[in-house]
Structure 1
Amino acid sequence: MKVFAISSPTPSLTPEVINAHMPAEVHDTVRLYLSGKVDQFWFQEKAGPIFLMDVPSLEDARAALNTLPLVASGVMSYELRPVVPLMPLARLIPAK
Structure 2
Amino acid sequence: MEVLVLLAPKQGVTVQQIMAVLPLEIRATVKLYLDGKIRQWYSRGDGKGVLFFLKAQTEDEARAIMETLPLAKEQLMEHQYIPVGPLMPLRMLLGTETQQ
Alignment check: 8 A CA contact 1:12 1:75 kept: no
Write the distance in 2 (CA, Å) between the matches of 1:94 and 1:56. Answer: 27
Write the distance in 2 (CA, Å) between the matches of 1:91 and 1:31. Answer: 39
Q: What are the ranges of 5 or more consecutive residues in structure 1 without an aligned counterpart?
A: none
Write the distance in 2 (CA, Å) between the matches of 1:70 and 1:47. Answer: 15
Write the distance in 2 (CA, Å) between the matches of 1:95 and 1:55. Answer: 29
Q: What are the ranges of 5 or more consecutive residues in structure 2 without an aligned counterpart?
A: none
Write the distance in 1 (CA, Å) between the matches of 2:58 and 2:28. Answer: 20
- Alignment partner, residue 91 of structure 1: 92
Q: TM-score, normalised by structure 1?
A: 0.88
- Alignment partner, residue 49 of structure 2: 48
SS at match of 1:90: helix
- Alignment partner, residue 22 of structure 1: 22
Matches within 5 A, 1:43-82: 43-44=43-44, 45-82=46-83
Shift of 1:8: 2.4
Write the distance in 2 (CA, Å) between the matches of 1:78 and 1:11. Answer: 12
Count of matched residue positions in the alignment of Structure 1 and Structure 2: 96
